[in-house]
Amino acid sequence: MINNNQVTPKWHASSVATAQQTGCVKMVQVSVSDGLLEGEVIQNEYGGTYCSFKGIPYAEPPIGDLRFKAPQPPKPWAGTRSAKEFGPVCHQFNFMYPDLHMSEDCLYINVYTPDTKPHKPLPVMVWIHGGGFAWGSGNDDWYGPQFLIRLGVILVTFNYRLEALGFLCLDTPDIPGNAGMKDQVAALRWVKKNIANFGGDPNNITIFGESAGAASVAFHLVSPMTKGLFNKAITQSGAATSWWSRDFASAEKTLLLAKQLGCFSENIEEVTDFFKKQPLDTLVHLRLHVSKNQKSYEISFGIADEKDFGQERFFYGDATDVTRRGIHEGVEVMTGYTQDEGLMAIAVGGPFDNMIKEASFFVEFFVPKFIKTHCVIADQLAVGRIMRDFYFKNGVSKEAVLRFMAADMFLYDIIFAGKLYSQKNKVYFYKFTCQSERNFMGHRFGFTDVIADKKVVCHADDLPYLFPIKAEKGKVNEKSKEFQLIDRVTKLWTNFAKCGNPTQGNMEVEWRPYTLQKQEYLDIGRMEMASKPDGEEIEFWQNIFKQYIPKYTI
């Protein structure tokens, strides 16, 4: 077990970083704690070169008896291990790219560095991918290094266990929950231990992620397992205070899943054995409900309040209470959301026409999730009526329903989290409004009929400004408007990673930290400072919570 507070020396005596020409490909070798790796030197189409190391095992394959359990340290290898191909991604139902190399053996990490032996150790950015805790990977079909690495940072991406494999929880020693989050911790510990050998600074690590990746980052900010493993954090469209990031009634949901799959036993040992023997295909693409009162756009898995069986627990308690007590001391945070987050609810809960009908006929549609889980039905109906009157004050419309779903899934909880962070830590808040041909996520998620010809900034539309996403787009013209926006966004992100100030240097605006008093934020798109993001709507929500659940206000 690695001591979280241990500082890795800048260079191990046994470090090897050599380059050799093999045919037309230049190879590069680096020694890590488990053996020697051989990667490639890649020509970056946006300038310069970088060293690429793919498919590095950061833990033992979580197969057999290790299914659902915490990851174990990887076994060393003899000789030189090739690091030129990605490892398998976690077995999943990937509606975007079904032709993936998938396996239960999926715990692999990728490192891209501008230089394995720089004059000064380089800042490190560790990306945690999103996908509703159910799909995605760290591969470069989505998360390539070309945009970020040209600005002098190391990029690390990795896979972790997803859906039932990563988040099934039975509240037992064999299936305690949060296996996928412990995978992430193992990856961060691997980075802390080994990144100096790639030219990185183990004392300047930024973790960042989007959607479920952002919620993951937010839980790392309060997890007892991650203290000391990173210095800065960026949460894009997600928070630990987001209701969808938490697992509710974990054990009950798991028992219901067992019945769906044909196991009606109430004996916990029999249920555990049943899940350990299940074929992989039965553990993906699951729609789990423990109540008929659930929202249509709820996801099936989240981060559990882990019971104590003597194991190292990733998280326990109530996420709001824990975040209120304070995140890791000294960690600086960047957080925010996109302009049109509500579209994402359609991807999870559509068709949209059904949602419009539900919102028109049933006030329960407008009840925030935490009100549903904490208040009696009479209070729920009262809140639903107030919410419906607010959003439908100008009549029933698609735009009003989308606004509500954006606030319900993202806006209120993210702003609430920012307020909590700002009491003890430095926080930079943003609203992402960039618009160009890079905003293709709405169409990719299938929202074409909903958004028509409107220019929107959908959930995940920030990603194409940070990563090439080669599965969708070709090379970007470096003289285009799109590349100007890419240059702006990547500089904000890498400046923050380098020194904690996103607008250091020659930026056209000074991004001032967010405080409870002024609530200032940066509109990324207009590049203007403003205050109180979506202020009227957020104040309305806060007044609702003050009356019914005061703990969700500040």
3 state DSSP class of 340? strand
User: Has residue 324 been placed in a domain?
Assistant: yes
User: Has residue 358 been placed in a domain?
Assistant: no
What's the total number of domains in the chain? 1
Question: CB–CB of 176/96 below 8 Å?
Answer: no
User: Has residue 263 been placed in a domain?
Assistant: no
User: Has residue 396 been placed in a domain?
Assistant: no
User: Has residue 254 been placed in a domain?
Assistant: no
Q: Residue 165, CB half-sphere, CA atoms under 13 Å: how many?
A: 34
Rounded CA gap, 250 and 263, in Å? 17
Neighbouring residues of 402: CB distance < 8 A, sequence distance ≥ 6: 340, 342, 343, 345
* Nearest CA among 505, 341, 312, 475 for reference residue 415: 341
Rounded CA gap, 32 and 56, in Å? 10
User: Has residue 553 been placed in a domain?
Assistant: no
pLDDT tens digits, the chain, 554 residues: what are they? 333 333 332 323 233 445 555 445 799 999 999 999 999 999 999 999 999 999 999 999 999 999 999 999 999 999 999 999 999 999 998 766 667 799 999 999 999 999 999 999 999 999 999 999 999 999 999 999 999 999 999 999 999 999 999 999 999 999 999 999 999 999 999 999 999 999 999 999 999 999 999 999 999 999 999 999 999 999 999 999 999 999 988 999 999 999 999 999 989 999 999 999 999 999 998 877 766 677 777 888 999 999 999 999 999 999 999 999 999 999 999 999 999 998 888 777 667 788 888 889 999 999 999 999 899 999 999 999 999 999 999 998 888 999 999 999 999 999 999 999 999 999 999 999 999 999 988 877 767 666 666 788 999 999 999 999 987 768 999 999 999 999 999 999 999 999 999 999 878 899 999 999 999 999 999 999 999 999 999 999 999 999 999 999 99
β-pairing, 49-57 vs 35-43, is antiparallel
User: Has residue 527 been placed in a domain?
Assistant: yes
3 state DSSP class of 51? strand
Please give the residue range of the domain that contains residue 75.
51-246+304-349+410-544
* Nearest CA among 47, 4, 194 for reference residue 109: 194
Burial (CB count <10 Å: 0-12, 13-18, 19+), residue 96 = middle
CATH assignment of the domain containing 512: 3.40.50.1820
User: Has residue 364 been placed in a domain?
Assistant: no
What is the amino acid identity at position 361?
Answer: F
Question: CB–CB of 518/531 below 8 Å?
Answer: yes
